[in-house]
Amino acid sequence: MPRCRIDIEASPTFQRLLREYQRRYPRTRADLVDAFSRIEQDPEHAAHATPLIGFGRRVWKYRSKHSDLSRGARGGYRIIAVYDGGNAILWPILLYAKVDRDDVPADVVKRAVEEIREALRAASSHDAQNGG
Amino acid sequence: MSSASTLEQLEARAHRTLAEASLAREILRHPRSPRAVERAWRLVTSLRTLLAFAEPERLEPLGPNGLWFVTELFQLTHNKLRNLVDLAAKQGLAKQPWFRAWTEGLEALGDALEGLYLSRDPECRAIVNEAIKELDSSRPSQVEIPDWRSSLAKMPD
């Protein structure tokens, strides 16, 4: 039984990045299946989970292997996600390969978190309007 | 522990690590010397101590100036270690066990730096935390969560 649910559809940016990587590297999906399978079991420890300082253990970074480039977790993909421990839900918001960038600028994270907030707000109001 | 005390301790540990990195350079000239190998491992120990001290719980209470200072210390340490790792790799020492420990330390420093770059930006920190607060109040638990395996499976190749 997974310890948390992972919503990979809520963030348009994550979806876009995922599609881009999948187009470039055919084994991206398999690599992420492997990573998410572990993360859903233990979101605070699996896949080299690291909480980003300053966000009260709500924004996490994970590492995943990059099979197409024969790279392990160290030089592989990075997944940035927002985690709601109370409701046990994880929203991946960013995905990048270590070969493409060393780190992610503050304004990119800022925009991604704002975007997921808007997306979830829209989904909530849509549910409310439909009696969900 | 007060923020001032945290900063003092962190500064002392970072300087210790930088000093150990200088001593560890001996391994580049004398890769088989027991003293040089010992110094290479002492750098690993020092790095691990520094990294263990830099936990989010300890760093989060620091204000923007404190975080800025910590970031600079980590950046200095990262630069020095990066240089050492590159030189050791060029000399064909990449298979040594201490080399692997050095690269792990370098990676961990890089991860810590990434978080620090984000959190030392007060505007980013405030906006992200505000967005998270709003996200909480939008009751996401009531929103249906699609199964991530199905989501991935339906993506076009």
Annotate A53-104 with DSSP letters as a single string. TTSTT-EEEEEE-BGGGTB-STTSEEEEEEEETTTTEEEEEEEEETTT-SS-
Task: Reduce the DSSP state of residue A51 to 3 states and report it.
Answer: strand
pLDDT over 90 (residue B2): no
Chain A residues 24-63 with CB within 8 Å of chain B: 26, 29, 32-33, 36, 40, 50-59, 61
pLDDT at A100: 87
pLDDT over 60 (residue A60): yes
Residues making up chain A, counted from first to last: 132
- CA dihedral sign of residues B48, B52, B53, B54: positive
Predicted confidence (pLDDT) per residue in B104-126, tens digit: 999 888 888 877 887 777 788 88
- Sequence spans of domains, chain A: 5-129
Predicted confidence (pLDDT) per residue in A77-124, tens digit: 999 999 988 889 999 999 999 888 877 887 888 889 889 888 887 876
* Residues of chain A neighbouring B132 (CB-CB closer than 8 A): 55-56, 58-59, 82, 113, 117
Predicted confidence (pLDDT) per residue in A10-26, tens digit: 999 999 999 999 999 99
Averaged pLDDT score across all residues of chain A? 88
* Beta-bridge partner residues of A79: A62, A95
pLDDT confidence bin for B26, thresholds 50/70/90 = very high
Instruction: Work out the angle between the directed axes of helices B64-90 and B34-53 (0-180°, nearest 10).
Output: 150
Q: What is the mean pLDDT of residues B51-61?
A: 83
Query: A8: nearest CA in chain B?
Result: B148
Q: What is the pTM of this model?
A: 0.81
- Return the number of other C-beta atoms located less than 10 Å from residue B23's C-beta: 16
Of B134, B148, B155, the CB nearest to A22: B155
